[in-house]
């Protein structure tokens, strides 16, 4: 029973660790319709990227290098969260069944843990890539900028009750 409780706690930790990105993935506008101009970012994402570029005082070349990195990361996160939703749905059905299949639940928890490790590896790769295009001074600005942005995001979440309640469009 202790192992089962520990597994459920691990599941809760993994779920909490991915909540922010999951909320952001719920907030994307509908995909572009045929004939629409394809833009790399829309709404809030565009503002956040521009804020980072301005705060770090990136050159045009650095900004043009940063945008594909962020686009690729967003696509990877979306793919991860599609997997996450599927695993969570499967886990929800397993937990709600009357005879609890502990082996199947453990397998789903292991999948969640692997998914979380994959997310952390992708995040570390992004950080390494971003740091490689920055000067030392810009890296220092980035270190100082991250806590400010987290605080602003936290204040936004408290004020408006989370991103899932809003749809940001151009």
pLDDT for 41-69, tens place per residue?
A: 566 777 778 888 888 898 989 988 888 88
For the cut 90, the answer to whether the pLDDT of residue 168 exceeds it is no
Question: What does pTM read for this prediction?
Answer: 0.59
User: Are residues 142 and 94 located together in one domain of the fold?
Assistant: no
- Note the pLDDT tens digit of each residue in 84-110: 999 999 999 998 988 888 899 999 999
Examine the domain organization and report whether 76 and 122 are in the same domain.
Answer: yes
Q: How far apart are CA 77 and CA 89, in angstroms?
A: 18
Are 84 and 120 contained in the same domain?
yes
What per-residue confidence (pLDDT) applies to 107?
92
| pLDDT for res 146 | 85
Number of domains in the chain: 2
Residue 21 CA, distance from chain mean position: 3
- Which structure tokens are listed for 57? 């005082």
């Amino acid at each position: 029973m202790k192992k089962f409780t520990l597994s459920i706690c691990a599941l809760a930790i993994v779920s909490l660790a991915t909540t922010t990105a999951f909320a952001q993935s719920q907030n994307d506008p509908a995909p572009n319709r045929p004939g629409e101009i394809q833009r790399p970012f829309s709404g809030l994402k565009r503002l956040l990227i521009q804020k980072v570029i301005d705060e770090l005082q990136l050159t045009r070349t650095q900004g043009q290098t940063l945008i594909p990195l962020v686009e690729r990361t967003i696509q990877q996160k979306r793919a991860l969260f599609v997997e996450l939703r599927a695993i969570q749905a499967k886990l929800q059905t397993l937990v709600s069944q009357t005879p609890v299949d502990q082996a199947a639940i453990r397998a789903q928890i292991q999948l969640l843990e692997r998914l979380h490790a994959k997310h952390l590896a992708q995040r570390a790769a992004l950080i390494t890539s971003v740091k490689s295009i920055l000067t030392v001074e810009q890296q220092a600005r980035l270190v100082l900028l991250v806590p400010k942005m987290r605080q602003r995001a936290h204040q936004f979440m408290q004020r408006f009750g989370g991103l899932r309640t809003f749809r940001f469009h151009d």
